[in-house]
Amino acid sequence: MLKSILITAGTALFLFPLAAQQDPQAKAILDRMGEKTEQYGTIHVRFSVITTDKQSGTEETREGELYVKKEKYLLNFLDTESYFDGKTLWSYLPDVKEVSVTEPDPDESFFFSNPARLFSGYDKEYKYLYLGTDPETGHDIIDLVPMELNREYSRIRITVDPSSYHISTAHYYGKDGIHHLLRIKSLESTDVPDSFFVFDPAKHPDVEVIDMRF
């Protein structure tokens, strides 16, 4: 018996079989989006995140900035500068002059843990379904359901601008009732060296380095 997930889009209900073939219309859009972003040397993104706690009824908006070059990234968010060179992650807290060094799970796909995955990896990690267009923006809507059911979110709903094939929003539905709506405010191509994604302790001699690698 096939496992399935029930997805709600507006007033319509979809039974999404996990063993079903991928939606070809969604695949075409995701493939085109991936091809577009691969043409860029480095992607520079400014964004906002609206975090909603369904249990407490609270909502909070924060701003952030992201640079992505293939699997490398530099994320400025929540008073933390996160440098990732493809293997090592430096999480720098300027206010407390402290940086922790880790080697994160390469398979992690949540935006805050691995923001580079926002632009790739959909074929391997998700079942996807095309839901039509947003009536306000005209952007395409696609639901992504993780193949691994132990993820902390049940699905991601993304919208894609059909004129540029840039992702415009990504809504993470947390299983704990905490949802994160990522809104892309600007996305452009730039060019930076690989060293841009490495934290250099020599440039921060007064910073305490906490190496958490085993």
2 pLDDT higher than 60: no
Domain residue limits at 187: 42-125+169-211
Closest by CA position to 177, among listed 62, 57, 60: 57
CATH classification at residue 71: 2.50.20.10
Contacts 24+ apart (CB under 8 A), 63-68: 66/115, 67/42, 67/43, 67/190, 67/192, 67/196, 67/197, 68/42, 68/43, 68/115, 68/116, 68/118, 68/119
Whether 25 maps to a domain, the answer reads no
Does residue 191 belong to any structural domain of this protein? yes
Number of domains in the chain: 1
Position 148 confidence tier, pLDDT thresholds 50, 70, 90: confident
* Residue 32, domain member (yes or no): no
Q: What is the pLDDT of residues 172-204, one digit of tens each?
A: 999 999 999 999 999 999 999 999 999 998 998
Looking at per-residue pLDDT, the higher value among 116 and 166 belongs to 166
Q: What is the mean pLDDT of residues 133-150?
A: 93
Asked whether residue 14 is assigned to any structural domain, the reply reads no
Give the global pTM.
0.84
